[in-house]
Amino acid sequence: MRFHFALLVFLFLAVMWNNSYSLTIARASLRELSGESELIVRARVTSSHCDWANEAQKNIYTFADLEVIETLKGEKMDKITVSQLGGQIGDWGMIISGTPYLQKDDEAIFFLVRNGDFFEIHSIALGLFRIFKDDSGNEKAVNDLGNIQLIDHLTGQEISPVEKIQTFEVSSLINLIKTYTSEE
Amino acid sequence: MDKYLMATIFLLLILLLEISSLFSFSIFTNEGGYPRKYFTTNIPFIYRLNNSTPPEYVPSIDAGAQVWEDVISSFWEFTNGGYTAANSVNYDGINLIFFDIEGVNFTPGTNVIAFSSTWTTGSGANYRAVESDLIWNARDFPPSLTGEPGKQDLQSVIAHELGHHLGLGHAGPAGGPPGVGPLITAATMYGYSSDGDTTKRSLHIDDIAGVSTIYPVWVLQGNITDAQSGLPFPEVALSSPVVFAAEIGPPEYGNNVYQRPGYYRDTVTVDTSGFYQVVCLKQNFELTAVYFGYENEQATVAFNNPGGIGQTQILTLNFQMSQSPPATISGSVIDSALGLPVAAQIKVKAVSQKPGVPSGFIVDTTTTHSGDFSFELLSNEDYEITFLPDPPYITRTILIEDLPSSGTNLSVYLHRASVLLVNDDNSTQFESYFTSTLGQTEQTYYLWRIAEKGIPDTSIFSQFPDPCTVIWFTGNANDSVLTYDEQLQLCQLLNRGGRLLLTGQNIVEKSVEDTLLVDYLGVSFQSNIATPLATGVANDPIGNGLLVSTVGGAGNQTSRDVLNVTGNAIPIIMYGTTTPLGVAGVRVEQPAANWKAVFLGFGLEGVNNSLGIRDTLSSRIFQWFSAVTGFNEFTDQNTSPLNTFYLEKNYPNPFNSQTVISYQLPTQAEVRLEVYNILGQKIRTLLHQSQPAGSYHLIWDGKDQNGIEMTSGLYFYRIQTGSFTTVRKMLLVK
């Protein structure tokens, strides 16, 4: 029953949410992300649901339960929960621009920072590298910031649409992360 | 305007099809296509500033809001509601703008510069926004008020973000987020910006169309009917000299977002229902209903002044379309030089820029034998009329613009071509390489496709001015064979003093070695060669100094032929660069029969023309042919030195009864002086005898060999003394 409810919630989210894309983020390198994140894991979303953040019903959060496959940095845990501001409950929607909301069975490498009892994705969207298989069956990880205004403050220039989508071989990405974290 | 009416408008807008827009805003919607808009109960949209907002920020914030209020065709309004203690994106009934200097909404180390939150509720047509907040991480990323480098311009960003609040997505690019329509980078709602960019402070027409679509002040609607039948008239274009309308397409989905692309228009097209309804951006404008074959129906649109929030004026404007009367196009086709009638096939296409224009030819007819024609077309339209005559006349196309109802009479003068261009390939793909080169060398041509018309013969060659010049190409290697009949006809061409450029791979390799190749051209097959480079023979009038590459032209040279050369053939181009690897091309002439030919063992179409080599090679061949342009007048000299042959201009010219022709011989020579008519037919031999050196004068009395007086017209006189030939023209006026 709970599973069906969660599934319905996500199906609803998939068709109802409207990101306004007005999220603006400063670019960060993989080395910076690795250094600034408290926890870096490869994990799969086992369930997700939306809830009011308080009794006054003035905030909605989306909570995604993650099953950790591999811990790349930080304390080893089998399960963690990631919270994301915004979500949809019934007719009510709270749309946080540019947020890559998580859905059941999503698999990714997460760069996380702690926020109270939960973890958050670093800079809303910067710290999410979704894993997929390409046409050849190879595992790839992609950080898709195509719907975010991304500023490079070293150059002061907005980053081109093509540059906003970074794709790695999963194994290469993991090796890079381990290299950067070992340098700390 | 009530919700039902708004929903109806958006559904009906889907019926309008795109014609001329290059631009696109987008609006957020739910899956049903209903916009994520604020209902009028929430307008004006009251934004409030957190108490900590620096006072110097306020003018830029208000200016960013004001640009949306200034849109006269939208009833959207912003109001600055003053300060508030609110400092989060909570649903609290406050549309917050917060410059978070303390960073309470941002975890330490975050790279987030700003984010917005919009609360929505309802479903279907009741879907709506109820609150929007914007929070800026001013702790880590303070904005700029002056567009200084390294910072985001506050006024531009506020204008952009408030555009999102009221329901607009990003403008373009096509194919999905961050926008769904064609790219328009000048719009405030364009999805990308850089530090210091202040250009987005002012709205683009695309932004204006966007907000007007969601919150319209003026809507125009009506029915289009056929005046005669009274039935709905579909697909009429409503056109204005100004951009007057905005319309939106169906929802598109991507990255968890539903959006509808929008467009601003100076023309909209009504769908099959004959009903139209469109959001308007102008209060007053002229509108014309347009459809092919029908009279333009014009109207003046005048809306009331804007009535305030939620007030949408719907104006009904109906059009009745009346068919245009037929008009007659008549006339005759005439030889431009002789004034004689020419028969031709006639094909007509409608080319009006209107909906309903029929595709293909709407008239396919022929002239009478006397060149006369007459047919009817609907008036007030544009037409392209093509006259397709038999050889040697050049096809001509005439554009008729806005055909008057009184019709029109045309005298269509056709020019004779100087070259017969024969396509002996199974396709038409290589023709352009030759027609382009002929254009560069200022030759006119008649294109003859063997696949359509069969092998040209003497009856065709005789139509061209003497000496008839033929360019014959065979194209791809797989069908580059000259048949026995083709060689026979080319022999006939040369027998009558013609000029021939024969070019193509595999011609000598695959064709039967018959009289043309062996006895006339003096070539046979030696081998194929892989090298694409060939070098012109030094001091040869055609080949000298040329480096010919057959890579980069048509790209079809897979079987270049190396030639064995016999008889009178003279190599003009050799394969290879520093070391000759074999003969690639020859020239041959037979002074006694007055024919000349050039043969290339490769396709001229394959020659790389990036440095103009194909054009140069062709031009030199024409020069060597000398009389390639038929009886177009030419001469090698501008003066009359005593040590050269020289043919002077006749005097008087034009003439009525007789004219004097003078010439000069530097040495004793066999002299032939003949008169030809415009068809290239010899009508009189004035002289044929050996003469010692000196100056001579002959009189032509305007009569042919039988003493019959010739009619008025253009005539040519040609002198031939051994290798020297010159032609001049003269005009007989009765």
A124:B192 CB<8 A: no
Q: Which H or E run contains B117?
A: strand B112-121
- Residues of chain B falling short of pLDDT 50: 1-23, 174-181, 627-642
B618, B619, B621, B623: CA torsion to nearest 10: 170
Neighbours of A110 (CB within 10 A): 27
User: What was the pLDDT predicted at B278?
Assistant: 95
**B116/chain A closest Cα distance in angstroms:** 6
User: What was the pLDDT predicted at A55?
Assistant: 66
Minimal Cβ distance to B111: which of A15, A92, A126: A126
CA distances from B22 to B184, B218, B265 (A): 8, 23, 9
Q: Is B547 contained in some domain?
A: yes
Which residue in this structure is represented by tokens 């009028």?
Answer: B40
Which tokens belong to B354?
């209107």
> pTM of whole model > 0.90?
no
Distance CA(B490)–CA(B458), nearest Å, equals 9
Closest CA to B232 of B292, B277, B274: B274
Q: Is B249 contained in some domain?
A: no
Q: Is B1 contained in some domain?
A: no
| Chain B residues within 8 A of A13 when measuring between CB atoms | 256
Which residue range(s) make up the domain with A176? 2-182
What strands lie across the sheet with B682-691, from one edge to the other?
A: B682-691, B669-676, B713-721, B724-732
Distance CA(B443)–CA(B447), nearest Å, equals 12
Q: Any CB–CB contact under 8 A between A91 and chain B?
A: yes
- Same domain? For B575 and B509 the reply is yes
Neighbours of B416 (CB within 10 A): 24
Handedness of CA B676, B682, B684, B688 (dihedral sign): positive
Distance CA(A171)–CA(B604), nearest Å, equals 55
Q: In B390-522, at which residue ranges do the beta strands (DSSP E only) sit?
A: 396-400, 408-414, 419-423, 445-449, 469-473, 499-503
The answer to whether the CB of A100 falls within 8 A of the CB of A86 is: no
| Chain B residues within 8 A of A157 when measuring between CB atoms | 194-195
A18:B141 CB<8 A: no
Q: How far is CA B718 from the centre of its chain?
A: 43
B194:A158 CB<8 A: yes
DSSP B384: E
B178:A58 CB<8 A: no
Residue B463, C-beta contacts closer than 8 angstroms, at least 6 positions apart:
B390, B391, B392, B679
The answer to whether the CB of B597 falls within 8 A of the CB of B588 is: yes
Q: Is B165 contained in some domain?
A: no
**B19/chain A closest Cα distance in angstroms:** 28
Interface test with B, best of A30, A83, A85, A95 (most B CBs within 10 A): A95
Instruction: Examine the fold and report which residue of B346, B380, B414 is the final residue of a domain before the chain moves on.
Output: B414
pLDDT (tens digit per residue) in A66-76: 999 999 999 99
B255:A146 CB<8 A: yes
- Same domain? For B560 and B426 the reply is yes
The answer to whether the CB of B443 falls within 8 A of the CB of B418 is: yes
B92:A58 CB<8 A: yes
CA closest to A21 among chain B residues: B178
**A156/chain B closest Cα distance in angstroms:** 5
| Chain A residues within 8 A of B141 when measuring between CB atoms | 26, 153
ipTM of the complex in this document:
0.81
- Same domain? For B431 and B543 the reply is yes
Distance CA(B603)–CA(B599), nearest Å, equals 10
Distance CA(B513)–CA(B519), nearest Å, equals 9
Q: Which H or E run contains B130?
A: strand B128-136
Greater pLDDT, B349 or A54: B349
B195:A151 CB<8 A: yes
A153:B119 CB<8 A: no
Please name the residues between 11 and 40 in chain A that touch chain B, using a CB distance below 8 Å. 13-28, 36
Distance CA(B445)–CA(B469), nearest Å, equals 10
B55 by DSSP, 3-state: which? helix
Residue B358, C-beta contacts closer than 8 angstroms, at least 6 positions apart:
B292, B350
| Chain A residues within 8 A of B193 when measuring between CB atoms | 149, 158
Q: Is B25 left (phi over 0), alpha (psi -120 to 50) or beta?
A: beta
Handedness of CA B164, B167, B170, B176 (dihedral sign): positive
CA closest to A144 among chain B residues: B255
CA closest to A113 among chain B residues: B107
Q: Is B306 contained in some domain?
A: no
**DSSP letters for B499-519:** EEEEE-TTHHHHS---HIIII
Specify the number of domains making up chain B. Answer: 3
ω into B467 cis (within 30 of 0): yes
Distance CA(B159)–CA(B155), nearest Å, equals 6
Residue A21 has pLDDT above 70, yes or no: no
Specify the amino acid at residue B550: T
CA distances from B84 to B91, B214, B255 (A): 14, 29, 34
Specify the amino acid at residue A18: N
Q: What is the CATH number of the domain that holds B661?
A: 2.60.40.4070
| Chain B residues within 8 A of A31 when measuring between CB atoms | none
Distance CA(A66)–CA(A44), nearest Å, equals 5
Specify the amino acid at residue B445: Y
- Same domain? For B568 and B651 the reply is no
Cross-strand pairs, B344: B389
User: What was the pLDDT predicted at B630?
Assistant: 36
CA closest to B159 among chain A residues: A22
A20:B177 CB<8 A: no
| Chain A residues within 8 A of B92 when measuring between CB atoms | 58
The answer to whether the CB of B153 falls within 8 A of the CB of B163 is: no
- Same domain? For B400 and B447 the reply is no
Distance CA(B603)–CA(B584), nearest Å, equals 10
Distance CA(B580)–CA(B157), nearest Å, equals 71
Specify the amino acid at residue B282: K
Instruction: Examine the fold and report which residue of B399, B414, B429 is the final residue of a domain before the chain moves on.
Output: B414
Minimal Cβ distance to A156: which of B123, B149, B257: B149
Distance CA(A22)–CA(B170), nearest Å, equals 9
Distance CA(B178)–CA(B377), nearest Å, equals 49
The answer to whether the CB of B51 falls within 8 A of the CB of B62 is: no
Distance CA(B283)–CA(B74), nearest Å, equals 11
Which residue range(s) make up the domain with B715? 646-732
B733 by DSSP, 3-state: which? coil
Interface test with B, best of A9, A16, A21 (most B CBs within 10 A): A21
- Same domain? For B534 and B492 the reply is yes
Interface test with B, best of A13, A23, A24, A130 (most B CBs within 10 A): A24
Largest CA distance in chain A: 52
Specify the amino acid at residue B210: G
- Same domain? For B403 and B424 the reply is no
- Same domain? For B669 and B608 the reply is no
Q: Is B85 contained in some domain?
A: no
B116:A19 CB<8 A: no
ω into B142 cis (within 30 of 0): no
**A59/chain B closest Cα distance in angstroms:** 5
Q: Distance between the two ends of chain B, CA-based, in angstroms?
A: 84
Minimal Cβ distance to B115: which of A97, A146, A151: A97
Backbone dihedral angles phi then psi of residue B303, each to the nearest 5 degrees = -90, 160
User: What was the pLDDT predicted at B650?
Assistant: 78
CA distances from B452 to A126, B347, B520 (A): 65, 18, 27
The answer to whether the CB of A23 falls within 8 A of the CB of A96 is: yes
Minimal Cβ distance to A86: which of B111, B117, B257: B117
A22:B114 CB<8 A: yes
Which tokens belong to B484?
């026995």
CA closest to B197 among chain A residues: A157
Closest CA to B286 of B275, B272, B265, B300: B300
Q: Is B194 contained in some domain?
A: no
Helix axes B431-440, B613-625, angle to 10 degrees: 70
- Same domain? For B504 and B606 the reply is yes
B31:A122 CB<8 A: no
Q: What is the CATH number of the domain that holds B522?
A: 3.40.50.880
- Same domain? For B404 and B423 the reply is no
Q: Distance between the two ends of chain A, CA-based, in angstroms?
A: 45
Q: Any CB–CB contact under 8 A between A179 and chain B?
A: no
Q: Any CB–CB contact under 8 A between A161 and chain B?
A: yes
Q: How many CB pairs under 8 A join A and B?
A: 153
Handedness of CA A75, A76, A80, A83 (dihedral sign): positive
- Same domain? For B507 and B556 the reply is yes
User: What was the pLDDT predicted at B681?
Assistant: 77
Helices (H), B594-694: 613-625
B117:A85 CB<8 A: yes
Helix axes B154-166, B58-69, angle to 10 degrees: 40
Q: In B519-658, at which residue ranges do the beta strands (DSSP E only) sit?
A: 523-529, 533-536, 547-549, 560-565, 570-575, 582-590, 595-600, 646-647
pLDDT (tens digit per residue) in B116-133: 899 999 999 999 999 999
Neighbours of B255 (CB within 10 A): 16
Specify the number of domains making up chain A. Answer: 1
- Same domain? For B408 and B552 the reply is no
Cross-strand pairs, B568: none
The answer to whether the CB of B259 falls within 8 A of the CB of B28 is: yes
